[in-house]
Amino acid sequence: MARSSISTLFFLLSLSSSTAELTKPSSQNTPWIPPPLPLPPLPSASQLKWQQGEMAMFLHFGPNTFTDSEWGSGQAEPSIFFPTNLDPRQWAAVASAAGFSRLVLTAKHHDGFCLWPSTYTNYSVRSSPWRSGDGDVVAILAAAAREFSLGLGLYLSPWDRHEPCYGKTLEYNEYFLGQMTELLTCYGDIQEVWLDGAKGKDEKDMVYLFDSWFELIHQLQPGAIIFSDAGPDSRWIGDEDAVAGTTCWSLFNKSSTAIGDTKSDRTQGLPSFTRGEGQNHTTTEPVSRRRRVAGVASESEAAGVTSGKENHVVGLANRSRTARIGNSGDQNCLGQFSSVLFFGSTVEPNLISPYPPRIRYSLKGDPHGHDWVAPECDVSIRRGWFWHSSEHPKSPLALLEIYYTSVGRNCLLILNVPPNSLGLISDEDIQVLQNFTAMRRTIFSHNFAEDAIVSAGSTRGGLYDPRFIPSNVIQEGIRSYWAPEECQTNWTLILDLRKSVSFNVLLAQEPIQMGQRVMEFHADVFKEGEWRMIANGTTIGYKRLLLFPVEKAQLLRFVIDKSRADPLISYLGLYFDPFSTTQNLLNASRRPSFNDTGGIGLRLRTTSSNRSLVFRSL
């Protein structure tokens, strides 16, 4: 790096500081400028807490665990439910150690069997031999969650294949709300209620009175987040692979979609994408579980994928399409993949037919939305949602990849870890979670920017108002933030890392309590006398993670190119991911089971000059 270039750069930065000094208050009694106006829609206190939790553990457990099925018929005898070593405390301990913030249990799945002794049906643990009919899985789990300081969520399936009154609108809605009331009044604080619109073909028609359900839930548990395909508090992202859109808004219009609304999709001859669609473990996988992700082309269609806002594409073969990496002039081919993903910036799949509009809408959200309905990504650690002896968990590297495409794209990740027929989380699942946790700690335990000198193109109130100064972006959390002067167009932050360091992950956060604002951004490093772009993106939201080839630099520039209002940035971090090498990501793209790979060792890549390109086929 030329000394003259560095001198010029710091001279320009000093001019910025000198200009800021002119705004220094003349006395300590000079009033401060108030904070910027929040930009609606805004998250509620419960939604803020929910999103800051980042990860929840889903627990699919019930008769299906013992019958090797996914969708139970509702006709299995209650006696089939007999976990000899049931230990929800172990579930909670595993979740806590792996960094999950809450547990969500299938209190009743589609088969109608209740894991608590409901007074409205005999089809429950009351009729099973487990604990002589005196057991209550929900109560035991609630106590374990409190012990480990975890939130508790409950899934109550609207579709009930056992209950005789299902199909009778008034009777079944009364029945459902009776069971919901039991769950929300007998087990303490419930932080999330999970609902979906799954229902098999040729089943009874049923009208769910969702508005009444939502009002009752919020009345009985005011702090609970209600998840469904369409909100009201959090929404399904549109696939069961935990792959959110690279553009992902928490803004949404609840009136634009409905829970389980797939009729319009079918009438157009398009595939249905109702969440959880499928039947049993031996049948063909449902549309929503196939490798075709909403908005992502299949392998045979991959040649037609076109780049969107985010570029820097990498691939392997079929050099008929190319994309330019930053300003370096390098070209890499877009190969024949179902999607080509390079986390630093991504080919935004061409979201056109055959994917229905409502899935595209859920995938990306709406920058003009009137409601705050943050996205939630669901995926199972195994192929199925319930435990099956023939299945094995995904590899730790696959889970790390999932973390990037969910939490790293402004979503909450809810990872299903199904207890086995003994009533325990299997040892191999625990081992994968432990390695996944160790990987995250290795990557994110040290922010190379934590001691950086941070400057900005402008600062609200000048540099002598500590509430909005640039250095706030290296303070963890979203409560503090940098704010630019109003009506400025130079939305730039420069981080001087004090020495040249190697990194390949950028983390950015907005103070979402002030609204989600950023629409486009990019990051540059200063090399050989000029700024070179290393990554770009669209939305940020609560958290955005960008993974790119290893860079070694001292100066990083973060630029907001487009925003709904004056942008606010709460945190910037630079990290080194030693696991996501080219070969590992190739393996992870197939999401192998832990058994297939024999485990992933935590071997670090220490050569800073290794510029392996990272990619993935979905």
User: Model confidence over 298-328: pLDDT tens digits?
Assistant: 222 222 222 333 433 222 222 222 222 222 2
Range of weakest confidence among 1-10, 169-178, 351-360, 401-410: 1-10
pLDDT above 90 coverage of the chain, percent:
67
Q: Is the pLDDT of residue 26 over 90?
A: no
Q: Which of 228, 240, 114 is nearest to 179 (CA)?
A: 114
Q: Which of 516, 532, 538 is nearest to 347 (CA)?
A: 538
Q: Which pLDDT does position 9 carry in this prediction?
A: 53
Q: Which pLDDT does position 385 carry in this prediction?
A: 98
Q: Which pLDDT does position 342 carry in this prediction?
A: 36
Does residue 614 sit in helix, strand or coil?
coil
The structure's pTM equals 0.81
Residue-wise DSSP of 167-202: T-HHHHHHHHHHHHHHHHHSSS---EEE------TT
pLDDT above 70 coverage of the chain, percent:
74
Sequence-ordered list of residues with C-beta below 8 angstroms from that of 158, at least 6 positions apart, any chain? 176, 195, 196, 197, 199, 206, 208
pLDDT band at 259 (very low <50, low <70, confident <90, very high): confident
Range 151-164 average pLDDT:
97
Q: Is the pLDDT of residue 558 over 80?
A: yes
Higher pLDDT, 376 or 346: 376
Phi, psi of 573 (to 5 degrees): -135, 145
Q: Which pLDDT does position 279 carry in this prediction?
A: 41
Q: Which pLDDT does position 261 carry in this prediction?
A: 58
Q: Which pLDDT does position 30 carry in this prediction?
A: 74
Place of tokens 């958290």: 543
236, 412 contact by CB (below 8 A): no
Measured CA to CA, the distance from residue 605 to residue 505 in angstroms comes to: 14
> What ranges make up the beta strands (E) of 294-388?
322-325, 330-333, 371-372, 374-380
Q: Which pLDDT does position 479 carry in this prediction?
A: 96
User: Model confidence over 481-512: pLDDT tens digits?
Assistant: 999 999 888 899 999 999 999 999 999 999 99
- Residue 409 DSSP code: B
Strand-pair partners of 547? 505
The sign of the CA dihedral 22, 26, 29, 30 is negative
